[in-house]
């Protein structure tokens, strides 16, 4: 599990392409101080498994499903990526629950400065927007952010200076693709309500069967 608090910005050192997959080698510093084979690292919000590492780089396999769902297939040597190690059991929960399982991608529409903050507006599909609510949480390229506005076509977040400096978001350009992970709670609620509808609605019996009573 991750929290969406980016630890450092890494740089793609090498990409070894397969038929529909790849192996990413990423240059990093801070996160390599405590890393092991098999560890989970969120790369632009995508949970990847460390398969090898040395003093200043680590490598991870990217399977075809991940290539389809995320922006990792658009990376090239020199690309900068947000990095976060999986949360330690004694860590401070600074962001929100982030699984590292990307729901889909969005497209950056615009940036607009307002005093010390920058509004970032991102277009997304209706399939993703149904899970995005005003003042709810969203992970954009792995960054835990609060949704400030939602329309039928896009949503906006307001980015403070620290987040802008410590992540890649404000270095993006209109038209760029970003990874989106919606709040997991919304997806579970949708599943629960769907099951309830099939069984005739939410009743005391339904709640009891699912551990709520």
Q: How confident is residue 206, by pLDDT bands cut at 50, 70 and 90?
A: low
Nearest alpha-carbon partner for 15 in 76, 68, 65: 76
Sequence-distant (≥ 6) Cβ neighbours of residue 22 within 8 angstroms: 15, 16, 61, 62, 67, 72, 73
Measured distance CA(191)–CA(197) in Å, rounded: 10
The answer on 198 and 159 residing in a single domain is: no
The answer on 69 and 41 residing in a single domain is: yes
The answer on 194 and 171 residing in a single domain is: no
The answer on 174 and 110 residing in a single domain is: yes
Q: Which residues constitute the domain of residue 110? A: 104-184
The answer on 143 and 163 residing in a single domain is: yes
The answer on 27 and 81 residing in a single domain is: yes
Is 137 contained in some domain? yes
Residue 190 has pLDDT above 90, yes or no: no
Is 202 contained in some domain? yes
The answer on 119 and 51 residing in a single domain is: no
Residue 187 has pLDDT above 90, yes or no: no
What pLDDT score does 189 carry? 79
What pLDDT score does 212 carry? 63
Is 190 contained in some domain? yes
**Which range, of 16-30, 61-75, 119-133, 188-202, averages the lowest pLDDT?**
188-202
Is 123 contained in some domain? yes
The answer on 190 and 139 residing in a single domain is: no
The tens digit of pLDDT for each residue in 71-119 reads 999 999 999 999 999 987 777 778 888 999 999 999 999 999 999 999 9
Q: Is 68 left (phi over 0), alpha (psi -120 to 50) or beta?
A: alpha
Is 96 contained in some domain? no
The answer on 50 and 24 residing in a single domain is: yes
What pLDDT score does 145 carry? 97
The answer on 175 and 109 residing in a single domain is: yes
The answer on 205 and 190 residing in a single domain is: yes
If you average pLDDT over residues 55-70, what whole number do you get? Answer: 96
Is 94 contained in some domain? no
138: domain CATH number?
A: 2.40.30.20
Is 98 contained in some domain? no
The answer on 204 and 167 residing in a single domain is: no
The number of distinct structural domains making up the chain is 3
Query: Is the pTM above the cut of 0.85?
Result: yes
């Amino acid at each position: 599990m991750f929290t969406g608090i980016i630890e450092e910005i890494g740089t793609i050192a090498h990409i070894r392409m397969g038929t529909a997959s790849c192996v990413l080698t990423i240059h990093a510093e801070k996160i390599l101080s405590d890393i092991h084979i098999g560890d989970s690292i969120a790369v632009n919000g995508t949970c990847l498994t460390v398969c090898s590492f040395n003093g200043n780089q680590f490598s991870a396999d990217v399977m075809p499903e991940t290539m389809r769902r995320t922006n990792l297939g658009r990376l090239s040597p020199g690309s900068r990526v947000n990095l976060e190690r999986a949360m330690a059991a004694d860590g401070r929960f600074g962001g929100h629950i982030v699984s590292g399982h990307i729901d889909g991608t969005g497209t950056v529409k615009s940036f607009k400065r307002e005093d010390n903050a920058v509004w970032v507006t991102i277009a997304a599909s209706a399939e993703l927007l149904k899970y995005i609510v005003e003042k709810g949480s969203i992970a954009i390229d792995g960054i835990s952010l609060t949704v400030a506005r939602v329309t039928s076509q896009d949503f906006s977040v307001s980015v403070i200076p620290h987040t802008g400096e410590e992540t890649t978001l404000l270095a993006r350009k209109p038209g760029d693709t970003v990874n989106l992970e919606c709040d997991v709670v919304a997806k579970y609620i949708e599943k629960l309500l769907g099951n309830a509808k099939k069984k005739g609605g939410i009743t005391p019996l339904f709640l009891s069967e699912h551990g709520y009573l």
